[in-house]
Structure 1
Amino acid sequence: MPRIKTILMAGTALASVLVLTPSPAAAQSTTKPKAEEQQEAETSTAKADRETLLDTITISATMINEAVFDSLSATSYVGDKDLERIQANTPADIFKTTPGVGASMNGDDPATAINIRGLQQYGRVVVTLDGARQDYWRVGHGSGSFYIEPDLLKAVTVIRGPVSNAYGSGGIGGLVAFETKDAGDFLNADEQYAISEKIAYESNGEGFTTSTTAAIRPHQAFDIIGNVNWRDRDAYEDGHGDEVRWTGEEVTSGYGKATFRPAQGHEIKLGAIIQRYEDYVTGSSGSTSATLSRYDADTINNTYTAKYTYFDPDDRLLDYAFTAYHNKTKAEQTQVWPTSSIGNFRYYDVRTTGISGHNSSRFDWMGLAHTLTYGGDYYYLEGESSASHFGQGEAQAYGGFLQWMGHYSSWLELIAAIRYDGYHLDGETKGTTTTPPEDESLDGDQVSPRFTVGVTPFTGFQLFGGYSEGYRAPGLQDVFRGSGAHDTADGYIPNFGLKPEVAKSWEGGVNLKYDGILTESDILRGKFTGFYTKVYDYIETDFTITPRMTDNIGTARLQGVEAELIYDLGWGFINLTGALIDAELIDTDNPKYKGQPLENAPLDKFSATVGFRAFEDQLIFGGQYLAVGEVKRTQRSSGTNPGQVDGPAQYSDAFELVNLFANWIVSENLKIDLAVENLFDVAYTDPQSAWSYTSDVEQGKGRTFKIGVTTRFGG
């Protein structure tokens, strides 16, 4: 951890030097020959292309689309070029360098749980796919919360903290929004149709991926895109060359999306995404136990969306979007070990149906440019399972918000917002041999404010700070769970007295946007953020009491700093990211919990990605360095010691990885992607995963060679 802090300080110093160095372009004024003027024009065009990539417009905490480095919040963006470079097999691969974000994932389970600043699972982080909430959960060591195939995606936006609560109930940790490609992202401007085929191979966990994409645009008012992916992997090896058991899987996925433009400014999108996963899951990932439960799992995730938007730059009163969606995730699991339990069957079925909408109105008054944004959302969630440890029932959540933004000249930006949230849960009490279960319900509501100020004292340098609150209702799993692993003699019981979690957060930061610092064509973009958050009535299973239950065990405190810096010279670039975060329990009546770290708290980490461009930007190649600090975990419990939450600490060692990449556009019809992950074959276990500490092998993937070949034809 000291090394990571030193590296972060060095990165910050580099940013300061770049910001304070005067621009050569500003210090010189000479008459240039026409040849130089032509060269400058070409350089200017290339620079404009790079600026477009760095300043891509995406969703923001205000629900008004803007560039990441213009937003007054801790926002990160992973675009299509980044996804191509990463060549991700899992969602966890996407977030390795995103500050403040961890992806909890085990090799034997393709489900993923996102952790932002120490908060994850059961709705603390809102995860959407084309605007549809992904709310799946199950119970077990390393249980995930959603399924998404990276090959389906064009971009991912992350908004950290409760400032993102305009996007729906529960997001006290933040928002992760996944987007799939539109036909317009795939087709060139002069094309009516195109088809591509990608074949990829990787050496570790030897396997193949195929991805077929096709799109047509018979008229400017209509287009459609479709994609089918197939991925098959064997079990991979760790850095020592040992096989990591149960890590193979087969995945079939695809999507279709049709876009209609019935009139100027109006757009309708209809989409369907289908994903199927066939793999093995274990009851305690990585354990060497001879009686370890293992299941042959078949999981299907279906997402259906309909979105209607209207935008006309001349219409200052109407700028709206409405979305309706349905997501269904069903996992069927058949036990294959131990022999005494072969054939046992269980299933998990989670369905979410929802709608959301908002509109923005703009006007000028008293020297300010005003924007009012207002809207609401509702979703209905059903959870059902044959397993008693699953908190089945029905949940309804609804909310509305009103937000005002004011701009004065080019140096002052003000935001004030208020959101109302409400919820209603329906489930059953725990039955006994003499008492049948009875219906039970729970509800509540809350009003949450937000205030933010942004000041730009001089061009390219913006300071921002503010306060925000978020509200997260107890989940069905929290309230209605009736059993679980390592049951005590008295088992688990539901808790109908659970209070919602309330997050209160202070956040401040700096946005940097500079061009022409050391050369006439270089570009600098940066975002530095500090935060201090308290989550009151934090919910977690209380292991100190019997029978066990989920309870409000105290206040969680999250604090830290995050940084992103991109410097692009045209012929090359460097991207630095880092985070130092502390997340622990305070203000708790139970001394055994006070000062304990949150489960799966995010990692202190630093990354440096260096890339080079050649052959008129047709070839991009480089390397990436990733350093992850030591993580301390607290021994929560054991089957024989149900009250042990202050037992011996568990440590995950720090580790450092080096990756290489190359993306080569050979011609307009052929592209080759190459990568080497974990170049030095480091043996490690990512502490964001929930692999058992009793495992006899490391769980991180050893050295892996990847190659992908994509052919494309259009006309």
Structure 2
Amino acid sequence: MNHKQLSLIASAVLLALSPSLQAQEASRQADETIIVSASRLEATQQEKTRSIDVVDLKQLDETQPNSVAEALKFEPNISIAGGNVPGNQSVNIRGLEGNKILQIVDGNRQNFDYDHRPSYFLDPSLLSKIQVIKGPISSLYGSGAIGGVVVQNTINATDLVDGEGLGGRIKTGYQDNGDVWTNTAAIAQQAGRIDWLVAGSVRDTGVMEQGNGYQLYGTESTDSTGLAKLNWQANDANRLGFSLRYSDRDGHPPVVGTTDPAAVNTLIDRATEDHNVSLSYQFNPANALIHLDTRVYYNQTEISETAATGTGKDLSKIKTTGFSATNQSDLGALQIYTGVDGYQDKLNAKRGNGEQGRPTPPDGAKTTTLGAFAYVNYALTDTIGLDAGVRYDTFKAEADGQQDNDESAVSPSAGISWQAASWMQWSLRYDEAFRAPTTTELYMDGTHFTMFSIPGIGPVTNTFIPNPDLKPEKAQNIELKGQFDFENLIAEDRLSLTAAVFRNEVEDFINYEVIAPTEAAMMGCIMGSGSGIGCAGTSRSVNVDRAELKGYELSAAYQIANLTAGVSYGQTRGKDKSDGSWLNNVPADKWVAQLEYALWQIDTNVGTRALFASEQDRVSGNETYDSYNTVDFYATWEPLSNLDGLKVDFTVANAFDENYRIAWNEVYQPGRSFRLSAQYTF
């Protein structure tokens, strides 16, 4: 980190601190305790007006997922992107995916999203919760959040130790489809004002099979994940935290996650290393106007690849240095939340040790982003609450020999909630968001694809053309949500209903434009230049006209005595408003039903989840995607007597061996899998 970066960080921290330092003159005490670990969503109380899905530790244990995306597949309008190889999978939210979805891990941005390469690296066995915020939310998080945010929280010492003392957890799991073994261990201690945790996992995956028995080549991998955390509550007002995390993966996936890995020439050797270090500081004195949360972090992600048909090695590396500083003030009916943050991504990329005929991403490119935001919550009446905020970001992308891309964006947000009755709440909100173009979208050159080869002349190729004039994508979303909670309908029971309808319009959508010449023009190019390089046309990233994504979500949950039942439905439609054509990557309509029964006399829960995905025929081309149904069964045994601390989970995923593929993927998903895990917490 150079002196310029340090001065930027120092200035930003002082900007966030200044209102708090002035507020120390105020003598009014806080009426209630502000939680130190509150997320930006909780600090602004937007959980009342936004559509949010949460997968907690209980559901993670029940499903025993192989990836974060798999853990989220039962949620409405969320689907798996990236094919069937767990290490390649990412998340699609309401028809947007990839770099249009922001990823947060333990409060820090994760900015690695590089073409067809993976971007989710955490082993789900080390997570305590996954939270998905649907819809644009740049007002709090800045660039990238035009489709939503996936927030991943790893386990803490408090998850293992209740009060003072030393504790830990050991866990082992096995899945027969792919011969998958997962071993996890964690130890933690809370002693006085200090708590710490050390945890790790190792996962070994073989060749999986799809529902018809065909092998899914490319699923093999060896994954290891490590985690260390240390927190020191120096006194009632000051708290310091340190965390270290790494994920390493070695595998042989297809070069593009959504392509058929049955062809040997699509498989590659891929080694992935993802490292993160973070330092946090909270200042929370007995003053309602000061609740300061600051952090600095560093991420380094490196992927090296060797194709089965080539000798060169590809290297993709991104280093991110970032910071954030936020302050929360409570003025009774008015709460104010302010903050600044920034990060710099440095990209290093090499392709095939100089091999020709390959895309050439910019080596040594960097992006610098700084943002500031302010948010207010105001209780207008006892039943009506208002929230509003605005964020300003400035960002700059640069690469050697290329024109800089220097832009800024303003992201406003506003919501209103109305507690119409004790059992009924309505909310309406409007949000704008943006995503800055990546350096690969701006500056990629080299070969996109080879059409054919001519003896004596060589390959006839389509080439990438840099486009440093790209504008950021901008989203405008309006959403109406209703929440209805009933108790004691027919007995001591509870019923919760949620409905949300949304419309998200994205301007300056960034997409690849592939221009193919006529056959005559192609042959003229070859004859005129004596080479086929570029004669099959050009490709570049361009801003296209406005895209519209709209839909709705419904969910219901009912509980009576030992029985819990739930059902949800999600529907999204996406069109290019310039010509009315259907957008790609919009998930199929999906129903999910769940039924669970607690056998308290034997300390056991049994349940089932059924997923029904409709046919996806709203496509821009000719290929459609068939409907499919999958059913999972699960059982959990957690004895409360002499074996307190033991927990055994048994899952049958895709119990009826459905052979299916998710819309927009060429490959089929794994078939039936028997999954068994046992853990002991002490």
Regarding TM over 0.5, the answer is yes
1:611 matched residue in structure 2? 596
Instruction: Within 5 Å, give how 1:648-667 maps onto structure 2.
Output: 648-666=621-639, 667=643
Residue 176 of structure 1 pairs with residue 150 of structure 2: yes
8 Å contact kept, 1:482–1:494? yes
Which residue type is aligned with residue 138 of structure 1? Y
Residue 564 of structure 1 pairs with residue 555 of structure 2: yes
8 Å contact kept, 1:236–1:701? yes
1:386 matched residue in structure 2? 350
Instruction: Within 5 Å, give how 1:680-699 maps onto structure 2.
Output: 680-687=656-663, 690-691=665-666, 699=668
1:181 is displaced (CA, Å) by 1.1
8 Å contact kept, 2:81–2:89? yes
1:111 is displaced (CA, Å) by 3.3
1:541 matched residue in structure 2? 512
Residues 194, 63 of structure 1: alpha-carbon distance in 2 compared, 3 angstrom cutoff: closer
Matched residue SS, 2:215: coil
Instruction: Within 5 Å, give how 1:467-616 maps onto structure 2.
Output: 467-487=430-450, 489-520=461-492, 522-544=493-515, 546-587=537-578, 594-615=579-600
Instruction: Deviation per CA, 1:584-617: give whole Å up to 9, x if none.
Output: 2112xxxxxx333333223321111111112269
| In 1, Cα distance between equivalents of 2:40 and 2:498 | 15
1:373 is displaced (CA, Å) by 1.0
User: How many residue pairs get matched?
Assistant: 607
Which residue type is aligned with residue 82 of structure 2? M
1:639 matched residue in structure 2? none
2:612 pairs, out of 607, 627, 634, with 627
| In 2, Cα distance between equivalents of 1:363 and 1:617 | 51
| In 2, Cα distance between equivalents of 1:427 and 1:373 | 36
| In 2, Cα distance between equivalents of 1:58 and 1:116 | 26
2:428 matched residue in structure 1? 465
1:656 is displaced (CA, Å) by 0.5
TM-score by length of 2: 0.85
8 Å contact kept, 1:109–1:281? no
| In 2, Cα distance between equivalents of 1:93 and 1:243 | 19
Residue 64 of structure 1 pairs with residue 27 of structure 2: no
Instruction: Deviation per CA, 1:636-655: give whole Å up to 9, x if none.
Output: xxxxxxxxxx7x42111110
1:132 is displaced (CA, Å) by 1.7
- Deviation above 4 Å: which 4+ runs of structure 1? 56-63, 65-68, 288-291
Instruction: Within 5 Å, give how 1:261-410 maps onto structure 2.
Output: 261-284=233-256, 286-287=259-260, 292-311=265-284, 315-335=287-307, 337-338=308-309, 341=310, 343-364=311-332, 369-387=333-351, 388-392=359-363, 393-410=365-382
| In 1, Cα distance between equivalents of 2:446 and 2:42 | 40
Residues 377, 250 of structure 1: alpha-carbon distance in 2 compared, 3 angstrom cutoff: same
Which residue type is aligned with residue 411 of structure 2? S
2:679 matched residue in structure 1? 710
| In 2, Cα distance between equivalents of 1:184 and 1:105 | 34
Matched residue SS, 1:162: coil
| In 1, Cα distance between equivalents of 2:155 and 2:673 | 28
Q: 5+ residue gaps in structure 1?
A: 1-55, 429-437, 588-593, 635-645, 692-697
Residues 332, 291 of structure 1: alpha-carbon distance in 2 compared, 3 angstrom cutoff: same
Residue 207 of structure 1 pairs with residue 180 of structure 2: yes
Residues 259, 527 of structure 1: alpha-carbon distance in 2 compared, 3 angstrom cutoff: farther
Identical-pair percentage: 23
Which residue type is aligned with residue 673 of structure 1? D
- CA-based RMSD of the aligned residues comes to 2.3
1:344 is displaced (CA, Å) by 2.2
8 Å contact kept, 1:132–1:327? no
Residues 657, 529 of structure 1: alpha-carbon distance in 2 compared, 3 angstrom cutoff: same
Instruction: Deviation per CA, 1:271-295: give whole Å up to 9, x if none.
Output: 1111111100223555378672431
8 Å contact kept, 2:44–2:377? no
| In 2, Cα distance between equivalents of 1:265 and 1:664 | 42
1:670 matched residue in structure 2? 646
| In 2, Cα distance between equivalents of 1:600 and 1:283 | 19
1:126 is displaced (CA, Å) by 1.1
1:62 is displaced (CA, Å) by 4.3
Residue 137 of structure 1 pairs with residue 109 of structure 2: no
Instruction: Deviation per CA, 1:259-282: give whole Å up to 9, x if none.
Output: 111112543221111111110022
Which residue type is aligned with residue 417 of structure 1? G
1:307 is displaced (CA, Å) by 2.2
Instruction: Deviation per CA, 1:236-264: give whole Å up to 9, x if none.
Output: 11111111112111111120111111112
| In 2, Cα distance between equivalents of 1:117 and 1:572 | 31
Instruction: Within 5 Å, give how 1:119-138 maps onto structure 2.
Output: 119-122=96-99, 124-138=100-114
| In 1, Cα distance between equivalents of 2:507 and 2:377 | 29
Matched residue SS, 1:85: helix
| In 2, Cα distance between equivalents of 1:298 and 1:262 | 40
| In 1, Cα distance between equivalents of 2:315 and 2:559 | 50
More divergent stretch after superposition (614-623 vs 73-82): 614-623
Matched residue SS, 2:158: helix
| In 2, Cα distance between equivalents of 1:410 and 1:540 | 47
| In 1, Cα distance between equivalents of 2:465 and 2:626 | 36
1:86 matched residue in structure 2? 63
1:537 is displaced (CA, Å) by 0.7
Matched residue SS, 2:61: helix
8 Å contact kept, 2:634–2:650? yes
Which residue type is aligned with residue 371 of structure 1? Q
Residues 152, 360 of structure 1: alpha-carbon distance in 2 compared, 3 angstrom cutoff: same
| In 1, Cα distance between equivalents of 2:324 and 2:488 | 42
Q: 5+ residue gaps in structure 2?
A: 1-34, 352-358, 452-460, 517-536
1:442 pairs, out of 405, 411, 416, with 405
Instruction: Within 5 Å, give how 1:154-173 maps onto structure 2.
Output: 154-163=128-137, 165-173=139-147
Residue 228 of structure 1 pairs with residue 200 of structure 2: yes
